[in-house]
Structure 1
């Protein structure tokens, strides 16, 4: 099997060149074509067959949203939206997910060496995830990965004691982690939860500032309240808090009150926010009061943290392979023995609610 073949579509020559340099730095990725607009891209697709397309939204002659709809209706190919609109929480970006885009990433821009390295990791990881999405046959050949930090970088591992977790009480928490394909999966999950659902805390891998618009969209669809988390927000019954893009979110406890703490810090399991960070904090401060849910996504973020939750008395549920866009994160959690039940997406909310009640 060969490399992941990518076409970069963007009206900016600078962005096309930068994206090409970033992607070609990964030995498992090959940029086979670039195009300045969708018409040029369509013409080149008659000559080459990309495994993944990176697509800007704001372009001349035809916008990226229209082109995305044409691709998904005529010849589905995994599409990663790469747009400056991702930093603005644009409703247009949300529509891209509805129309079949697999991932959303920010355009690379000038910054510190650390910022550029994190951008490279996020962009190449998005391409790998898209290539394995269930839109097409994908290569099973392993690709090189960068060293990654564990949750120790943000929240130290517990000692022999169980931390500050309370024994099982009437105050339950549902802790959720998701990545590739998770935006639509979370919509299905949250829409099915009743108004009296115990407090929900969520990490979904997505760009900074995008989470606020995502939460607002879900809030208009769900019977529970859905908000982007702010530091020290109390975890309340009938409410879901989504970690802001680019901030780690931890579950904490003060007396009988659960709240969230937002932190900066390095990428953990190649992500910020990281599911492992949330799950480790849930193990420490929630223990048997927590129901863990791990959903569709690339990689293994959340597996170690979910194992810690299980060891602290939590009941853990994984989305099944058939309903996942990418069966990565749930599979890794299952492999390490962290999961108590494997369920299809349409039944996840019902089971999580039942266990939390």
Structure 2
């Protein structure tokens, strides 16, 4: 490292939680380590880093606008330096940790999901040791793949990271997404399912085949009869626990990833499978952006809209369900999904809410009835 002899280590902390930044800064400063930069996300951090590169970066994974793994790759390709990941997702042996280490991180500390404040105030939580060990690392000696990335970036003179909605799914997130698709008979069907879901359930994105202006009334009704926050979706709305975003009639809705957060994009476009909004459009975007962090369910409806999208979700690692024939008003869309091999589980309407909660980890996992 280029740090002068006896000069304190300089560390940047990038985490979207002000509480985390404050406590980790205090902990490091108490150990004689100078925190020279703090930032709530990588896009705020980048100009600060360029102005005064620290010796070590302490980096969260789940942040708005750009996730930590994406940012780590940018740093290692443009200005390699030691990075310590500090996240609830960086547990020993898990895929997110493996991704971070493969991208060039030299260490990780796992923030607990429970008892976070005690962890942040504990000098023995491992962070100080991880930072000091990281400062001794020679990141320029990392394997050739990372070196080639850095060389390629230098040849192309790539500018500072530019914010984009990263479309690729992360290996794991604490946020989950549930995607629904329905048509004929779907109004009563969706209502029956949502009535049984608690406000703590994962965020839901929903396409119900309906004309323009009808979807607003549909959303308002669902809001009145369920415990969930139900909105007719607007472009940029965030997907959060307890919220249902209904695709507006006459518009397509897609899932996008902004950092480690999920938002929806609402856009005009041509009919797909004779529909706008189209279930296939939504499901395919969920497959691409959320992957195995998602659950897809296809309900009663005429035609085959959503079947191919549900198959893409399954191939991307998502859990997928189809309503069974006996409880469907029209066994068209679920049948098409089943025949394509898109549905892992075929579930009666009366059991759908329980199945969704089990798959999202909100209830003990048992064999799904009808599977």
TM-score under structure 1 normalisation?
Answer: 0.54
Counterparts of 1:286 and 1:343, CA distance in 2? 23
Which of the numbers 310, 315, 323 marks the counterpart of 1:319? Answer: 323
> 1:165 maps to what in 2?
169
> 1:302 maps to what in 2?
306
Counterparts of 1:319 and 1:285, CA distance in 2? 24
Counterparts of 1:167 and 1:322, CA distance in 2? 36
Higher relative contact order (CA closer than 8 Å, sequence separation 6+): 1
> 1:179 maps to what in 2?
183
Counterparts of 1:209 and 1:164, CA distance in 2? 32
Alignment of 1:32-51 (within 5 A): none
How far has the Cα of 1:169 moved from its partner?
A: 2.5
Which of the numbers 236, 243, 257 marks the counterpart of 2:240? Answer: 236
> 1:277 maps to what in 2?
281
Are residue 336 (structure 1) and residue 340 (structure 2) matched? yes
Counterparts of 2:286 and 2:202, CA distance in 1? 14
Please give the root-mean-square deviation of Cα atoms over the aligned residues, in Å.
Answer: 1.1
Are residue 262 (structure 1) and residue 234 (structure 2) matched? no
Counterparts of 1:252 and 1:345, CA distance in 2? 29
Are residue 293 (structure 1) and residue 277 (structure 2) matched? no
Counterparts of 2:307 and 2:218, CA distance in 1? 25
Counterparts of 1:226 and 1:189, CA distance in 2? 13
> 2:143 maps to what in 1?
none
Report the secondary structure of 2:225's partner residue. coil
Are residue 220 (structure 1) and residue 224 (structure 2) matched? yes
How far has the Cα of 1:287 moved from its partner?
A: 0.2
Counterparts of 2:247 and 2:315, CA distance in 1? 24
Report the secondary structure of 1:170's partner residue. coil
Segments of 5+ residues of structure 1 without an aligned counterpart are 1-161
Equivalent residues, number? 196
Counterparts of 1:352 and 1:188, CA distance in 2? 13
How far has the Cα of 1:168 moved from its partner?
A: 2.8
The C-alpha deviation readout for 1:118-144, integer Å capped at 9, x for no partner, is: xxxxxxxxxxxxxxxxxxxxxxxxxxx
How far has the Cα of 1:349 moved from its partner?
A: 1.2
How far has the Cα of 1:163 moved from its partner?
A: 5.6
Report the secondary structure of 1:219's partner residue. helix
> 1:194 maps to what in 2?
198
Counterparts of 1:258 and 1:199, CA distance in 2? 9
Counterparts of 1:194 and 1:351, CA distance in 2? 13
Could you list the structure 1 runs, at least 4 aligned residues long, displaced by more than 6 angstroms after superposition. none
Q: Is the 8 A contact 2:283 2:310 kept in 1?
A: yes
Counterparts of 2:210 and 2:223, CA distance in 1? 17
Counterparts of 1:344 and 1:180, CA distance in 2? 17
TM-score under structure 2 normalisation?
Answer: 0.52
How far has the Cα of 1:171 moved from its partner?
A: 1.1
How far has the Cα of 1:170 moved from its partner?
A: 2.0
> 1:346 maps to what in 2?
350
